[in-house]
Structure formats: C-alpha cells, structure tokens
C-alpha cells in the first residue's frame, strides 16, 4: 500500500472570506492549502 502526500495548493485572492471558504473546502477534499491575500505574500508562501 502506497501512502501519498496530499497535493499542495497556493490560493491567492484579495477576499479573505473567499480564501477561507475555498481553503476549507479543498482541505476537506484532502488537499494541503496555503492562502495569501497579496502577490508578495504568495511569493513568500510558495518558496
């Protein structure tokens, strides 16, 4: 049996409510999610 790591996703949007909603939905589907509200934050989070 092979155990797979969850796919990592970086969500970027300027709407914190939307980020939270999408993040929660994707986590419930088994993804690892990182969120950012700005491009600069996204670049650091994705590094």
Q: Per-residue pLDDT tens for 9-24?
A: 999 999 999 999 999 9
The SS3 call for residue 41 is helix
Q: How many domains does the chain have?
A: 1
Residue 29 structural domain: 8-46
Tell me whether residue 2 is in a domain: no
Q: What is the mean pLDDT of residues 30-45?
A: 86
Tell me whether residue 1 is in a domain: no
The CA angle 25-19-7, to the nearest 5 degrees, is 55
Tell me whether residue 14 is in a domain: yes
CA separation for the pair 25, 6 (Å, rounded): 14
Alpha helix stretches (DSSP H) within 1-47:
16-28, 39-46
Q: What is the mean pLDDT of residues 23-28?
A: 97
Distance of CA 8 to the CA centre of its chain: 7
* Stated pTM of the model: 0.74
């Amino acid at each position: 049996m092979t155990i797979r790591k969850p796919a990592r996703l970086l969500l970027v949007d300027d709407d914190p409510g939307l980020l939270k909603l999408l993040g929660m939905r994707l986590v419930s589907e088994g993804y690892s999610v990182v969120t950012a509200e700005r491009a600069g934050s996204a670049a650091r989070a994705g590094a």
